[in-house]
Structure 1
Amino acid sequence: MVATSPFQCLTLTLLILPPLLLTTYFMAVFPSPPAPVSIHPSLASLPPTSKSWSIYPEDFYPGGGYATFPNGRVRYWLVGPEKGKRARQRDRDELHVVLIHGLSIPAIVWKDVAPSLAARGYRVLLYDLYGRGYSDAPLMTYDTNLYTNQLALLMQYLKWEKANIVGVSMGGGIAAAFTAQFPHLTDEGVGLLACAGLMESDDISRTAKFMSSPLVQSLASSRPVQTYLRHLTNQTVARNTLDDKPNVILEIVRLQSAHLPGYNNALSSSLRDGPIRGQTSAFQSSAFEGKRVLILHGTKDVTVRPKYASLIDSTVTSKAHKKVIFINGAGHDLSVSHSKEVTDALVNLLSGSNWKTIPS
């Protein structure tokens, strides 16, 4: 038996005691309370002289209002008759429609479709996603749940029991995820226009990947870069106002990027973490069973390529009433460039007339 000297005992104690105390501390320490969410302002914070107010004013649609949620204020509009059309075979239920915009352009993207649906008797809800337009921009990860919860809270706020859900581009990915997560809030129709959600990383440009990196976003959010962007944008807007037909859609993207500190972060985080990719399980959800699903795509779409329409068709359950329509010559902005064709297809979806039946 080897004798242990007092010096050896002291050495062992000094070696063992610090890690033991540190381990005990980290296991027992009580965490600090979470920090409140930092929220960047929306277009509503810009002065009335800003070009954004003439292009996309706060009252762009009638029936506007704000709903305040934990992640910031959300701007919404309700257009169309208050009672709206009645749902088929459910005389007590009104037929509600939600239109969800895409990655970079707020609800102005529905500028022709929404009034046309309203004129045909539908009650339509439009709103700006977090970080766009007149909705606040929380400084957080813009993942799928942020967007689906935003819509669920908004419908609860408006006391809508359910609605037909229509989305364009990234909004289509949100519509699919919302249907899968909240089937009890989703009515009979789901519209997926130029729909993202299943995109592969290779289809996202290297420039977009580079610009959405956290390092580049930190640089882009710095005061000197923001000041330069505002100067550059103001010059561009001034030149374009001399044109007969300025591209208001492009201008509102530039104005948001230059004047809203949370906008670029919302876009870059959505590219990395949002419902643009990885939504296979949502499209495969049994929540689509028995629903009418419109898959509408332009043949000239180079942003979300037409192959994804066919992929969505094969991914959504065969127990859904699916219809795939390609608009010849339409690009990714089909809700603006081909608003009549889009409106007609949506009316067909909502009415259910001449819709494809479930395969036997």
Structure 2
Amino acid sequence: MVSNPFQCLTLSLLIIPPILITTYLLAAFPHPPEPIFLHKSLASLPPDAKSWSIYPENYYPGGAYVSLPFGRMRYWLLGPEKGKKVVLIHGLSIPAIIWRDVAPQLASRGYRVLVYDLYGRGYSDAPQTTYDANLYTIQLALLMQHLRWDKAIIAGVSMGGGIATAFTAQFPHLVDDKVMLLACAGLMEASDISRTAKFMSSPLVQTVTASAPVRKYLQRLILKNSTSKATPPSTSAPVPVPEKKSDPITEIVRLQSAHLTGYNAALSSSLREGPIRGQAAAFASEGFDGEKGRAVLIIHGTKDNTVNPRYAPIILTLLPPVTRARSKLITLEGAGHDLTISHAEEVTRAMLDFLEGKQ
């Protein structure tokens, strides 16, 4: 028991302030949440930007924008309005241009095809948030609601396959009886990602690369590579120099990286938190069962250096038994990761055979 008045005062001064501070912190009302900051898309670039000639807004017919809670996004609708509905989801770094040789062919066969740019790519805004499976699946669910689509066949390439998988698990009522997974991510391990990619995707490095000086340097570098030509040797007669053809797929990745402030952060977050990993439970989920078991088409190239081909048969074994019995794995000899570009004819034929029941 403390009897000394001085000791009582000292003890009170030691105890009362922490109690008051703790009470204030517990009772303090939080500030309202800040609105999500949106980085602009390719649509914000000037009309003379190279991206407009490689991948313009009207790259596909039937293009439109829609504003959703996480920003404005771009989509296109191809094929007859009454055709069976198919959604094509692109992957990590390349926007909807990756479907350039597949989407028109599906549409010409009577399918109503939806292609769109994921958040942070192409003509869709880049919200400053975590790019996890939920962000991507909600984007598609809200887009289908906007279009008043009750359900559709879902197809995805690379990370788009991981999104298709998570979407089927989370929103099975929006998925028709077929799912198509091409060079599908979803089961990758940390060891599959290079040290360089891990380093570049770190928050600290992303802060540096997002700075104005670094982006200006990248823009000048791309401009130099795009406009420079080899100088012929000095002779009396001019020597014609063949013009080097640029790869539009590679170019659009470089242009996004240099000009879109949210692009690299979207890729980095997708590598760290996105649906390229951790989707084993989604593959095995009841969402893939459907009423009678969905049918799943898996297409993978033997030379895929991004998503190891060994994951394709593992995906097949993870599917529920009824679904597995109705599913098919096709291995494309010599195909790499961008198989919708390099092996577009084989991929399109396999997809059409699957859709039309010609397995």
TM-score, shorter chain, exceeding 0.5:
yes
Amino acid at match of 1:327: L
Determine what percentage of the aligned residue pairs are the same residue: 65
Amino acid at match of 1:245: K
- The answer on 1:167 being equivalent to 2:156 is yes
Change (3 A) 1:83 1:97: same
- The answer on 1:156 being equivalent to 2:159 is no
Q: Distance in 2 between matches of 1:152 and 1:348?
A: 27
Query: Counterpart of 1:266?
Result: 266
Q: Distance in 1 between matches of 2:62 and 2:186?
A: 31
Q: Deviation at 1:239?
A: 4.1
Q: Tell me the SS of whatever aligns to 1:115.
A: helix
- The answer on 1:64 being equivalent to 2:67 is no
Please list, as runs of the form range in 1=range in 2, the aligned pairs for 1:320-331 lying within 5 A after superposition: 320=323, 321-331=326-336
Query: Counterpart of 2:16?
Result: 17
Query: Counterpart of 1:226?
Result: 215
Q: Structure 1: which 4+ aligned runs deviate by more than 6 Å? A: none
Query: Counterpart of 2:44?
Result: 45
Q: 1:317 aligns with which of 309, 315, 320?
A: 320
Q: Distance in 2 between matches of 1:213 and 1:3?
A: 56
Q: Is the 8 A contact 1:294 1:324 kept in 2?
A: yes
Q: Deviation at 1:243?
A: 3.7
Q: Tell me the SS of whatever aligns to 2:328.
A: strand
- The answer on 1:246 being equivalent to 2:246 is yes
Gaps of 5+ in 1: 85-94, 355-360
Q: Is the 8 A contact 1:237 1:251 kept in 2?
A: no
Q: Is the 8 A contact 2:169 2:286 kept in 1?
A: yes
Query: Counterpart of 2:277?
Result: 277
Q: Deviation at 1:204?
A: 0.3
Change (3 A) 1:24 1:151: same
- The answer on 1:296 being equivalent to 2:296 is no
Q: Tell me the SS of whatever aligns to 2:321.
A: coil
Query: Counterpart of 1:357?
Result: none
The number of equivalent residue pairs is: 343
Q: Deviation at 1:345?
A: 1.4
Q: Deviation at 1:177?
A: 0.1
Q: Distance in 2 between matches of 1:209 and 1:8?
A: 58
Query: What's the CA shift string for 1:39-71, capped at 9, x where partnerless?
Result: 011000111111100000000000000010111
Q: Distance in 1 between matches of 2:245 and 2:311?
A: 32
Q: 1:141 aligns with which of 117, 130, 150?
A: 130
Amino acid at match of 1:288: F
Q: Deviation at 1:287?
A: 1.1
Query: Counterpart of 1:177?
Result: 166
Query: What's the CA shift string for 1:15-44, capped at 9, x where partnerless?
Result: 111111111111111000000110011000
- The answer on 1:339 being equivalent to 2:328 is no
Query: Counterpart of 1:96?
Result: 85
Q: Deviation at 1:238?
A: 2.1
Amino acid at match of 1:233: I
Gaps of 5+ in 2: 231-241
Q: Distance in 2 between matches of 1:280 and 1:18?
A: 51
Q: Is the 8 A contact 2:101 2:341 kept in 1?
A: yes
Q: Is the 8 A contact 2:301 2:339 kept in 1?
A: yes
Q: Tell me the SS of whatever aligns to 1:164.
A: strand
Q: Tell me the SS of whatever aligns to 1:319.
A: helix
Query: Counterpart of 1:286?
Result: 286
Q: Deviation at 1:240?
A: 8.1
Q: Is the 8 A contact 1:292 1:352 kept in 2?
A: no
- The answer on 1:120 being equivalent to 2:126 is no
Q: Is the 8 A contact 2:302 2:309 kept in 1?
A: yes
Q: Tell me the SS of whatever aligns to 1:229.
A: helix
Amino acid at match of 1:347: L
Change (3 A) 1:232 1:3: closer
Q: Distance in 1 between matches of 2:350 and 2:227?
A: 38
Query: What's the CA shift string for 1:73-104, capped at 9, x where partnerless?
Result: 010000011111xxxxxxxxxx2000000000
Q: CA RMSD in A?
A: 1.3
Q: Is the 8 A contact 1:195 1:309 kept in 2?
A: yes
